Structure formats: structure tokens, C-alpha cells
Chain A
Amino acid sequence: MLRIEGIQKSFGGFMAVNGANLGVQKGEIVAVIGPNGAGKTTLFNLITGIIKPDGGRVIFKEEEITGLPAYRICKKGMSRSFQVVNIFSRLTVFENVQIAVLSRHGKTFNLFTPSRKLLIEETSDILQSVGLTDKGRSVSGSLSHGDQKALEIAIALGGHPELLILDEPTAGLSPEETIRCIDLIKRLSADLGLTILFCEHDMELVFAIANRIMVMVRGKSIIQGLPADVRCNREVQDAYLGESESGVCLA
């Protein structure tokens, strides 16, 4: 469904992403792991059009989308959440999700029908699926961090994507919230058949839900494979544990 070939991005001479490759099949859950600053977020930004690549190709559903603006890539069926909470902070929780739903239905140039009458059910369903029904009328900027992270995913779901990209969905969550988040991701994959690409630092979570794992180090993708293969790979152990301890399997 998604194929990335040798994608590159430098920031003022520093290669944040330096020839990364990645493939995601329909229905899979794929994790990207790597140390801090490996370039995971930058990779997701390149895929979703938030920033433009210097080189390489992004192919989505057999169509090249390299360098298209973010709003057009979104319309092709790809939505994402952000690592750092990135919401419409003066609007209510309901309005946050509704904007994504309105946009997906191409209604944002509609000038005279009141928003409050449009796509209410679809928006409510999404809020329910992430457990924010009660908070629909709260101003999103005043929510707890955990709720804002849930809202992050809800906004992404508003685009009704085929491919859902999540950038560290559990960053900063409490253990209970993390468990709920894992549940949600599993449900989205099993019930809705969403294809999911995500990145995480929490290894337990990664090995618990990913079908395949891609490892990124210093802007390069060093391996993509089944969890078992990745766990025992030499290079991965070097990257994570340092040379001395190599020989044991991760996690």
C-alpha cells in the first residue's frame, strides 16, 4: 500500500533522513523504531507532505505522491497524528474532530449550512471510539495531556483513512492510558481493517502489536522484518545496546 524508496531530507547540511526505505502492506501494523533523533518524525513528515523531500520517492496505492502538499495527500486516504500535541486549541473537542470529518466530505467551502447540523453522527462515533464522548463540549486546549493524545488520534480518524500514521501515540501517557491506547490501535486494525504505521519508544508495545518492524538509525533504515528477526539482529543490538552487550536479543 505504501512504498518509500531512498527518501532523503537535510536540514542545513544535516542529513536528518538519509536514504530510508519502507514498505507497508494493506492491513498490516508496521512499527518504526530507532533512538532519539533517528529521523522517525521527519520520515513521517516526508510521507505525509508536511515537508518536502530532497530526494527519493513515496508511492501510495501505486501512485507517486512525492512532494505533494499535505492536504492533497490526506485526501488520498492517509491521515496522521502528531508526536507533540497538535490540535485546534481554542475549539471544542467535538469541533476539532468535526473539522477533519467536514474536510474529508469536501464541505469546508460550504458557507451557509450551520456546522452544528452536519456530520454529527460520524463525529460522535469517532469521539466514542477514543473515549472522549463526555468531553465533546470542552475546549480542547484545557484537556489533560492524556485526553489530548486521544484527541490527536480522533482527529486523524476524522479523515477516515485507509492508512493511519501515528507518531508516538503513547508518549507521556500513564500506564493505564497506554493500555487503552494499545487496545484502540488493535481495535482499529481488527475492526475497521485500517493499515497502521506508527513509531514508538516503548519496546513492549511495539513487540505486542506490530506485524513488522523497521529500524531507523541516524536517518537510515537498517532493517525491516518480522519482530523475531529484528529482535536478534546484530546491527539493531549495536544501535540500541552498544557494541559490548551484543549477542542477546532485545526485549
Chain B
Amino acid sequence: MATLNIRGKESWLVPILFILLLVFPLVLTRFYTYLLALIFVSGLAAMSLNLVLGYGGIYQFHHAVFYGVGAYGAALTITKLGYSPWIGFLVGPLLAAFISLVMGAICVRLSKLYFGMLQISLGSLVWAIVYRWYSFTGGDDGIHGVSMPDLIGSTTGSYYFTLLVTAACLIAMYLIVKSPFGSALQGIRDNPVRSEAVGVNVKLHQLVALVIAGFFAGVAGVLFIVVDNSAFPDMLFWTLSLEILIMCLLGGWLTFLGPMLGAAMMVALRTFASTFTEYWTLIQGIILMLVIIFLPEGVLGYVNAKFKQLGNLASGGKA
């Protein structure tokens, strides 16, 4: 499926990219280091969505909820309950996975668009709780100045921590995608009826996939705290879910790394376009429209197809 995979011809790209990412903070300004870390965070959130969207064919429209819950879970554990940040970092993803289990168990009975609609409603409920519960969550002010361990307190420290955790998550997700569970999930995406007929309990597999995706989204939420030291209700507002969804479509929802690429494009676009114009969402909309019309499988999907064509030409074969 994904041509740019770790065992493909382009496998040398991965270690080189990783080494580049390791030296970047030595040459980049703090702002760009921060920006890169933000790309990893958004990219991880988008990739966790793509686990259920691209690989599972599940219309998870409100994925940001788990990102936000992960962030708040960590932030509140640290600030309100007074535990060490490292414990907070564990609580965040576990809480996100738990919320995902509860929401998933309710929504998974419905199919396709109905799933998506119910999921949006329940997600908005979680947002409303965070937004309204002023005394505990800080309401629309959010939580600021979450203190970090010294090791990861600086911009560079938080960058390296984010890089390593993101890399670890990508490896774990890659293994999952290539595992028998991943195969079954892609089978369900392509044909749920046939999956049932070969003995796969479709709803249960979908639920497990949702919990896994919720967990990794929660990790992304925690990493945001590490990078930004704050959490705010917009992190689980539906517009952010839309943005994460766009990252998947833009980068390529049928590829493994596509959503990360989509995140890089979106974060870069937002940062640079918004310095020139306040209408950056308009630019974003136009770019998305162009991509959907000309590259329906996203940028990485397009690149992969080109690579395949080149490979076929080179080997002189047809298909």
C-alpha cells in the first residue's frame, strides 16, 4: 500500500531524515525549532486519526477530542492533583483511550455517516464540559504554565522529547498497520460484509482500533503540553478536528506518512500565510480544493503513484 515504507527502495530516506531532524535544533532558531515540534505534534494527531480513517474506513469526524483529553488529562494531573509530570504524561493518553472506549462503544453500532454524526455530538459534549467546568479546567482560559521537568523544559529539550516520542509512536503504529490486526482493519475498510463472512467481528475490531487511535491522539495532546506548557478548550473544538481531517486528506489518507506531511503543510501555511494576510483560512481552503481536484489521494498518494510508475518503467514491466 504505502510505497514510502520502511522496507521499500526509499528506506535510506528514513534514517537520513531522522539524523537531519536530530541536528536541526543546532542550526535553527528557537522559533523554527518550536514550529517543527508543533508539526510533530499535529502530525502525530493526524496519523492517529488516519489509523481509523485511512486504514479502518471509520468516519471519526471529531478526533480532536482525544487530543484535547490527553492534554487536559496530563495538565490537570500535574497542576490540580500535584503529581509529577511523568505521571501526567501517562494519565493523558490512558484517559484519552478510556474516553475513546466509551464513545466508541456508543457510536460503533452505527455505520459510516451516522457514526460520524453521533461522534461529533458526543465529542462536543466533552468540549462543553471542559469549557464550562471553570473551577477545575479553567474554562475558556485554559491552563497555562504547566511546569515541566528540567530535562525537557527548554525549547531544545522539548523538541528532542517530542521527536523521540513521535518516532516511537510512528514505529508502534507502523507495526500495528502491518500486523494481522492491521490487515483485518483494512479488510473491514474495504468490505465490512465480507469481513464478517470470513469470521471477523467487525464492531469489536473497530472498537479496538478506536481505542488505539484515541491513545495515540492522547500522546499527541501530552506532547503539546510539553511544547507549549498549556492546554485550552480549542484543542477539543470541532474546528480542530476538521483541521486534522484536512491534514490526512491533504497529505494522503491512503499512505502511512501522508498525514504527517499534511500536518507540515498546514502548520507551515498557517504560520507564513497568516503573517501576510488574515485571510489565511481562505488560502487554506483554496489549496485544499485544488488538492482534492487534482490529487484526490493527497500529495504523498500522488508521489507514491509516480514512484510506482517510474519503477515499472525502469523494470520494463507493465504492472
Contacts and interface: CB of A to CB of B under 8 A. Distances in A.
Interface stretch (B101-109, B196-204, B244-252): B196-204
Nearest to A102: B180
A110 B181 CA distance: 6
A69 to B, nearest CB: 7
Interface in B175-225: 175-176, 178-184, 186-187, 189-191, 193-202, 205, 208
Contacts of B16: none
A118 B180 CA distance: 8
Which of B1, B183, B201 has the most A CB atoms < 10 Å from its CB?
Answer: B183
B319 interface: yes
A178 to B, nearest CB: 23
A82 interface: yes
Contacts of B254: 90
B199 A48 contact: no
A25 interface: no
Given A98-B183, A107-B180, A111-B176, A86 B199 contact: no
B194 A115 contact: no
A173 interface: no
Given A107-B180, A115-B182, A118-B180, A87 B194 contact: yes
Given A90-B1, A108-B181, A103 B199 contact: yes
B175 A114 contact: yes
A103 to B, nearest CB: 4
Interface in B217-245: none
B199 A113 contact: no
Which of A108, A115, A142 counts the most chain B CB atoms within 10 A? Answer: A108
Interface string A61-95: 00000000111001100011010001111110001
A71 B182 contact: no
A101 B73 CA distance: 41
A92 to B, nearest CB: 9
A25 to B, nearest CB: 24
Contact of B197 (A80, A102, A112, A115): A80
A128 interface: no
Interface centre among A69, A80, A109 (most CB of B within 10 A): A109
| Interface secondary structure of B, over-half rule | helix
A10 B189 CA distance: 29
A88 B199 contact: no
A115 B181 CA distance: 9
A100 interface: yes
Interface string B151-192: 000000000000000000000000110111111101101110
Interface string A203-231: 00000000000000000000000000000
Contact of B200 (A48, A89, A103, A118): A103
A99 B175 contact: no
Interface string A130-168: 000000001000100000000000010011000000000
A100 B186 contact: no
A112 B171 CA distance: 11
A116 B178 contact: yes
Contacts of B1: 90-91
Contact of A112 (B179, B189, B191): B179
A50 B197 contact: yes
A109 B319 CA distance: 33
Given A80-B197, A115-B178, A138-B319, A109 B183 contact: no
A86 B179 contact: no
Given A86-B191, A88-B194, A118-B180, A104 B199 contact: yes
Nearest to A76: B199
B183 A71 contact: no
B171 to A, nearest CB: 11
Contacts of A116: 178
A71 B181 CA distance: 16
Contacts of A80: 197
Given A75-B199, A109-B208, A91 B178 contact: no
B183 A99 contact: yes
Contacts of B205: 108-109
A111 B175 contact: yes
Q: B1, B186, B198 — which one has the most chain A CB atoms within 10 A of its CB?
A: B198
Interface string B52-77: 00000000000000000000000000
Contacts of B199: 71, 74-75, 100, 103-104, 159
Contacts of B194: 82, 86-88, 155
Nearest to A48: B197
Interface of A: 48-50, 69-71, 74-75, 79-80, 82, 86-91, 95-96, 98-100, 102-104, 107-116, 118, 138, 142, 155, 158-159
Which 9 interchain pairs have the tightest Cβ spacing?
A: A74-B199, A108-B184, A88-B190, A70-B196, A100-B198, A103-B199, A99-B187, A110-B180, A107-B180
